[in-house]
Amino acid sequence: MAARAAIALVRGVPLALGMMITNRCNLRCAYCSIPDDPGEEMSTLEVFETLGQFARLGTVRLGLSGGEPLVREDLPAIVRYARDSGMYVTINTNASLLAERAEELDGVDLIVVSINGTQSVHDELRGEGSFDAAMEGIEAAKKRGLKVVTLAVLSRKNLHSLQEMFELIRRMGLKMYVHPITECEISGELGPELLPDVDEFRAAVRDMIERRDDLPLASSTPYLQHMLNYPDYSSWRGCKAGRGFVYMTPDGCIAPCHVVMPAGLPSVLTLGAKNAMAKLPKVSCDGCCIVPMVELSLIISGHWQAVKQAFRVSG
C-alpha cells in the first residue's frame, strides 16, 4: 500500500476517496438537513465500477459516509470490494444500526462513531434513544474485533461537558477525534445557536493541547493547534482537497471536498475517474477545521506528528 501511495502522489492521483454512498439516514439530527434531499444513489455495480477505477489509478484509502451508510443493505459488499481492491476502508456512522450489522462488517479497518456529548446532550441533538443505541453499537463492534474510534463535533451544547465526554471515552477504552461545528456544516432547526463562544472554545482547545498526553485524544497536535484559529481558518494554505483527496456524491459526481460542491460537478459514471479528475473544479473557500480534511492534509504533507498519531489510532 505504501508503494501505491507513493505512485499516486507522483501521478497526482488522490490518495483518499471519501464516498458519501447515501443521503438517507435513520436519524434526524437537529443541525443536519442532508436526509431531506435523498436524491439519486449509485447501484451496487456502479459503486464497484467507480471504486475499481480509483483503485487502478492508485487511490489507497476509502472513507464511507452519508447520510448514514449502514442504511444501505449492500454496504458489506462494498467494503469487501474495496478491500479486495487494496484499499484501507473506514466507515463514519451514528452507530445506531451497528449492533444489528456489526457481524457483516468484517474487513472494515476503522469505524468512526459520532458521539455528540453526554447522554442528555447527544439525545437532544440526535434524537431520544440515540445515545444508548450508539453505545450498544460500539460494544457490538468491539466484541466483533472491529477497530472503533469516536468523533465529537464541539458546539455550544457540549463544550461545557467535554471532560465528562473524555471520561466516558476512556472508560470505553477508545479515543476521540474533536472538531468544531462550523457555519458550513449547520443546517436544520438549531442553526447558529450551536456555534461555540470563541474565547471559551479556544480555552478548551488550549487545555486539550496542554493535557493531551493524559486525554484519550485521537486528534493530532498540529490539528489541535490549527483549531486555535477558530473561527477564521482563511490563512491556512495546507489543504489538499482536490489533489490529495476527493469526495464523491451518492450519484457518482466528485468534488474537492464535501463542502466545496458547486453546480455541474463531473460524473465518474459518465466520464470515468481519470477524466472526471481532470475536470474537477479548483478549491476556492475560506478554509475549515473539518477533521478528516485537515488531518488527511497534514498526513499527505508528511507532518510527522499527524502521521505518527494516525498510526496510533489505526493500529
Grid cell listed for 312: 496510533
Cα–Cα distance measured from residue 40 to residue 187, given in angstroms and rounded to the nearest whole number: 21
Position 37 scores a pLDDT of: 79
| Confidence band of 237 (pLDDT split at 50, 70, 90) | confident
Position 138 scores a pLDDT of: 98
Position 280 scores a pLDDT of: 92
Grid cell listed for 221: 497536535
Higher pLDDT pick, 260 / 201: 201
| Confidence band of 284 (pLDDT split at 50, 70, 90) | confident
- What is the percentage of the chain residues whose pLDDT exceeds 90? 77
Position 286 scores a pLDDT of: 83
Position 9 scores a pLDDT of: 59
Q: Which range is least confidently modeled, 89-103, 105-119, 169-183?
A: 169-183
Position 161 scores a pLDDT of: 94
Position 36 scores a pLDDT of: 77
Domains of the chain and any CATH numbers: 2-314 (3.20.20.70)
Check whether 297 has a pLDDT greater than 90.
yes
Q: What is the pLDDT averaged over residues 207-234?
A: 95
Grid cell listed for 123: 439525545
- Which H/E stretch holds residue 254? strand 254-255
Cα–Cα distance measured from residue 226 to residue 110, given in angstroms and rounded to the nearest whole number: 24
Grid cell listed for 45: 455495480
Position 262 scores a pLDDT of: 82
Cα–Cα distance measured from residue 125 to residue 91, given in angstroms and rounded to the nearest whole number: 21
| Confidence band of 31 (pLDDT split at 50, 70, 90) | confident
Cα–Cα distance measured from residue 255 to residue 247, given in angstroms and rounded to the nearest whole number: 5
Q: What is the pLDDT of residues 113-148, one digit of tens each?
A: 999 999 999 999 899 999 999 999 999 999 999 999
Q: What is the pLDDT of residues 143-186, one digit of tens each?
A: 999 999 999 999 999 999 999 999 999 999 999 999 998 765 55
Beta bridge mates, 111: 91, 148
Beta bridge mates, 114: 151
What is the residue type of 145? G
* Selection from 116, 217, 203, 206 nearest residue 157 by Cα: 116
Specify the pTM: 0.94
Residue corresponding to grid cell 451497528: 98
User: Are the CB atoms for 113 and 94 separated by under 8 Å?
Assistant: yes
Grid cell listed for 180: 468544531
| Confidence band of 32 (pLDDT split at 50, 70, 90) | confident
Q: What is the pLDDT averaged over residues 276-303?
A: 90
Grid cell listed for 254: 466528485
282: left (phi over 0), alpha (psi -120 to 50) or beta: beta
Position 221 scores a pLDDT of: 96
